[in-house]
């Protein structure tokens, strides 16, 4: 392994030993904000071994600006000592720009348990504090059937969906507005709203057409449940939104919907199906989390760290 060196700027022309995923992709950064970005990376030879993107505004540096998570990502070659040095390098450069506060929202711990633990240990040793922790719910995709991981109540609902001849199917990208409008109506029916506007979702789809997945459950020709998912890493499918029509509450077709997503992950060799956080307005929604756990998900912390720079 070549010696590590730390850099500021875009790592153009370099190969990656770490999967940057969607949220660290320059195209996604520009969807979050058109300006204010600064990038730091760890280099060894001609490879990027670590990376962080921060958005600078009014003395604050945040990662991400608007996405589920950002913060530091790094390869297996980067140990705690190197990460500590890299964090110090980033902080010095940020101080030179009169940054006084750093905020970092991590990916769910279960994505990479050891790496996330290393990051948390190093950050806390460097003076970062936990600002808050959200709870994600994530299904580990194995060779076993989706049904084998379900709570008995959800197994019953899944069988009802099958007995009612409901069908899971994928939808083409040109159905995006129809799927979004359906999901928006389902949320309004329950007194909630979608966190992303249609123009924002459309921009995401245009930037990453091969990563977006639209699926639905139909009763004959009627859409009764739908989902918008994104393959955010090669081995992680992130379930942005899923919901079903209120008139189908007795069947709960999102159970069939998630079975279809799980089977898709099996076929695509995706190891994690992320059902998103269960926090609404900053508080844990226990009923929402419990439903996801009954689908076979495991809870996983998603921590936001902050530090005041002296």
**Residues 115, 119, 125, 126, CA torsion sign:** positive
Show contacts of 289-294: CB within 8 Å, 24+ apart.
289/135, 289/137, 292/137, 293/137, 293/151, 294/150, 294/151, 294/153, 294/154
Mean pLDDT across the chain? 95
Given pLDDT bands bounded at 50, 70 and 90, which one contains residue 1?
A: low
pLDDT mean over 87-97: 97
For 45-86, the pLDDT digits (tens) are 999 999 999 999 999 999 999 999 999 999 999 999 999 999
Amino acid 279: pLDDT: 78
The pTM of this model reads 0.94
- Let me know: does 44 contact 225? Beta carbons within 8 Å: no
Domains along the sequence of the chain with CATH:
4-134+302-308 (3.40.630.30), 142-270 (3.40.630.30)
For 121-172, the pLDDT digits (tens) are 999 999 999 999 999 999 999 999 999 999 999 999 999 999 999 999 999 9
Given pLDDT bands bounded at 50, 70 and 90, which one contains residue 13?
A: confident
| CA-to-CA dists, residue 44 to 14, 72, 149, angstroms | 10, 17, 42
% of the chain surpassing 90 pLDDT: 93
More confident call, 192 vs 96: 96
For 227-267, the pLDDT digits (tens) are 999 999 999 999 999 999 999 999 999 999 999 999 999 99
- Let me know: does 56 contact 35? Beta carbons within 8 Å: no
% of the chain surpassing 70 pLDDT: 99
Which of 33, 17, 98, 100 lies closest to 70 in space, CA to CA? Answer: 33
């Amino acid at each position: 392994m070549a010696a590590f060196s730390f850099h500021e700027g875009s790592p153009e022309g370099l190969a990656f030993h770490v999967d940057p995923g969607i949220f660290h992709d320059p195209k996604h950064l520009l969807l979050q904000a058109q300006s204010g970005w600064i990038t730091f990376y760890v280099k060894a030879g001609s490879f990027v071994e670590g990376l962080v993107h921060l958005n600078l505004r009014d003395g604050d540096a945040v990662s991400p600006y608007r996405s589920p998570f950002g913060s530091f990502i790094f390869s297996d070659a980067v140990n705690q000592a190197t990460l500590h040095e890299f964090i110090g390098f980033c902080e010095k450069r940020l101080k030179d720009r009169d940054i006084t506060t750093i905020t970092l929202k991590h990916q769910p711990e279960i994505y990479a348990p050891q790496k996330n633990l290393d990051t948390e240990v190093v950050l806390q040793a460097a003076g970062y504090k936990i600002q808050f922790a959200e709870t994600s719910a994530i299904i580990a995709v194995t060779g076993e059937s989706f049904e084998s991981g379900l709570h008995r109540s959800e197994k019953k609902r899944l069988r009802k969906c099958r007995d009612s001849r409901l069908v899971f199917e994928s939808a083409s990208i040109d159905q995006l507005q129809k799927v979004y409008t359906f999901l928006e109506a389902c949320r309004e029916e329950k007194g909630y709203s979608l966190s992303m506007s249609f123009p924002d979702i459309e921009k995401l789809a245009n930037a990453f057409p091969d990563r977006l997945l639209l699926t639905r459950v139909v009763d004959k020709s009627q859409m009764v449940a739908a989902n918008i998912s994104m393959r955010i890493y090669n081995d992680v499918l992130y379930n942005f939104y899923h919901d079903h029509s209120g008139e189908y509450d007795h069947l709960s077709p999102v159970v069939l919907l998630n079975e279809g997503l799980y089977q898709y992950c099996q076929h695509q060799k995706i190891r994690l199906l992320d059902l998103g956080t269960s926090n609404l307005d900053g508080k844990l929604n226990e009923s929402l989390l419990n439903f996801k756990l009954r689908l076979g998900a495991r809870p996983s912390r998603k921590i936001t760290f902050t530090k005041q720079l002296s």
